[in-house]
Every structure is written in structure tokens, then in C-alpha cells.
Chains A and B, each alone.
Chain A
């Protein structure tokens, strides 16, 4: 995560090592040959929409499948808790003494979700479950179009900003004795709006998405969301990742163009990679857009360390 600056990169790839030159065809032909489908995107959208529909029908049809909302839910009777919500609650409860009243279901739900996303790669939640992500994905497309037409300028910030917000919201929760973040959390707001019916609070979502479209691409997800930051921390120790193989890469950077968090793919630029094989960092949401986009199949899902054993 932090060490990349001190390691000297491998020497840039020689021309004859670039995959399409090796095969004796042009880049365009190579790209057309290998195709770039939307396999993972379609699977991911199906899962995302499916999970959220499951929440809605569990309520409307009164089924015990996936009750509650994304702030806290029950899957076939097993509790699942939102981690940042739980962290805020634990911090306030420890101070006020409510801690001893918290139920076993809460504790189980908190640890179950941490273990689940530890196995699934942390920020997997963002691109595979989060309904705001889905909205922002379309906002991103619109934003890219406007930038391309030169209607607006791109604004980027430091990616570590989300840890400032993460700490800040925890302090704020402690000081005000309220779940401050949950009041403005677009994940919870959207989830509740879908399940229990919309309200005036949706104006906030509109403000956020408008800001993302006209000013800074994916501002909330990249620089603010403390839920995403929590999952990044979990993902940093997770065995599940996207791996990159240098020998299959043609440095076309198509993957960076589609990536939701392009800084995690820093090694795809010519002359930047330090190893033959890189595992994408914890900020990666495992959305699979790069896997779909890569003409050389240089990127794929992996379980860290497993290919060494096999």
C-alpha cells in the first residue's frame, strides 16, 4: 500500500515482448481477437440488483429471506450489521454504558460480516451490493461524457482523504452522542427508501450525485465514504484480490480507463511495475471491469498465495 515508492521498477518491457507484437498482429486486431465483453459487469449488476430486490420482497411479501436494510439485516435469521454503524455505536456505548445491554445478535452480526468480507476482499461490498454505487456508476458515465465534451473540468483529491473522514465521523459520533454518519449515509438512505418507501431525505442523494456528475468524479465513494474505508482496511488483509501478470500486458491502459479507483492499477503503465505479478491493492472494489476490459487477460481474480501452493 505504501511501499511502492522505494522499490525500483523492473526495466520497461522490450518491444518484442509486447503480446500483440509477439503474435505478429496490430493492437486493433489483437483487441478484436480477444474481445472485451461485459461478463463480470453483468454478473455483478445481477447480484447487486438481486440482493436489493431480495430486501424489498422480503418486506413487501413478508418473507424471512433478507429482512432489514443495509444498515442491519437478517439473512435467514442470521444477523448482519453494517460495520461503520456498529463501530460508531460501540464507541458511544462504551462511553455511556449501553455496551452491556447490546445483544448477542449484534455481536454475532458484526463479526459475521467482518469475516464474510474478509474472505470476499473487503470493498467487494461497494461494487457488488451498495445501491449508491450503482447510481454513481451511471453518474460516472455521464461525468466522463461531460469531461470528454469539455463542458466541465475534472477535480481529483488525495485518496487518503477517506481516512480523515473515517476518523472524523467516529470522533463526531463520540462528541455528539449520535450516529451522525447514518443521518447522511447514502447507502442506508437508499436502502431504506427502496424498502420502506421514499422520503424527503432523497434530496440529499440528488445533491450528492449531481455534485459527482458536474464537479468531481465519484467524490463520495473515493474520498468520503467511511464504510468503504472500513472495507478497505478489511480488504488489506484479505486473501481475495485481482492479480496482474506483466507478461500478458500490452500497456494499453484500457483497464485504468474503466477502473472505478484507477490509482490501484498504477503498475499497468509502461516501466512502473516492480514485479512480474502484482496483486491489486485494498482500495480495489473487485468489480471486474478491468478483467472484462483487458484484451490480454493480464488481470484475473485470485486467492493470494493459493497459486503458490497448487
Chain B
């Protein structure tokens, strides 16, 4: 948990940004079994390893009376409820506000009993948008911004990610399916959001652009923090722990 800067100590946006923190703390989160975020640093697109992608997912909320501000307020308040089944978002008690940390349990493969435990920090939040930044160890070094705007008479909800995989193993997984699953995850999230405000057949528009095809080999060492490898190790050694407990 960290704090935002008071508005009188910066620009007009001062209260919207998280303050710099050396190490994250998930002390403001309850309910999660695993906290793999506390003590970690944040890690955005500049610190990641893989190719840099900008992904934009949009859904038109035809028929909804919600304004962008009302939609974002509702989205912040009920964020975990829009996630696809099998994954959990443990929101900070203080809500989605600058500097707050949330914990996540994500299924690396749909239907898998294995859960990847990680988290995000709220980098930025205002009335019409909020942005998460990933910590070290997350599969992605990313920012993802959730926003809403008016297109004519219709409110449009948008999720836009600027992301790289964090290390070479994550990049490999990304190339062999994790990327597609990630895209499906956000499309489904927007569909769930749209259905919650009465859109019966939501259609999510997706735009994916590769900003940088090169990989940042100087960040290959991120693998030492990998939540993916930690989870794999934990899963593979489960039988040993089971035998040890019984013996």
C-alpha cells in the first residue's frame, strides 16, 4: 500500500498518481491465501523482456444510460465481479485508488487447478479511468488502463494494455498460447461488464499493435522473480510435500 500525492503538491493530476514506492505492500488486502507481491518492486513496460504490445479492447454499451464517470465508478467498485471464472481479484480495502495494491489468483490455463498468485498496483486513477501496473514476478511487465468515453450517444468501455512479458520463459509461454488466453481474458471481462449493464449481445472490438519487435535481453534476469516458475516448482513438488506430511 502506498499513497497518492495531495493535489496541492503537484499539478492538476497530482492526486491521481501513485507515489513512488521502493517496495510494494499488500497489507491493505484481505482474503488472499498467497501474497507474492509484498516486498517486490513495480515493473512496467520499460522493465520487461519480451516484445512490446499495445492491446485495445472496446465494447459499446448500447442501451445503457450510464455516463463514462458512472461506469468507471461502478467498474472500480465491482471490478472483481467482471473477471472470467476461475480467476480471483482481491481488491484493496481502500478500493481502487492511486498507490493501492491488489492481489490476484489467475489460472494459467483455463480449467487448471493451478493458480498463479500475483498482483497489481494502482498507478493512476481519476473519474474516467484507472491504470494498473504490474509488480516484479508477474508474467507481464505492463500497464493496463480501464477507461470510458462517449461515442455519440453511447458510452464505450475500454481496456488498453501496454505490455511485455517479464522474462524469457514468460515470452515462450506467450508465443505458445498465453498471449491468446490473455486476449480472451480481457475480451471476456468486457463482455461481462457490458452484460452487467444490460447489453444482451456485447461485441468486443480488439486492436493489437506490436510497438517493439525486439526483446530486451538486458532484462532476461527478471526470471529470478518469476511467479510462473515459482508456481510450477510448487506444483511439481506437491507430491513430495504430500508424502512428507503423511510420513
The answer to whether A and B belong to the same complex is no
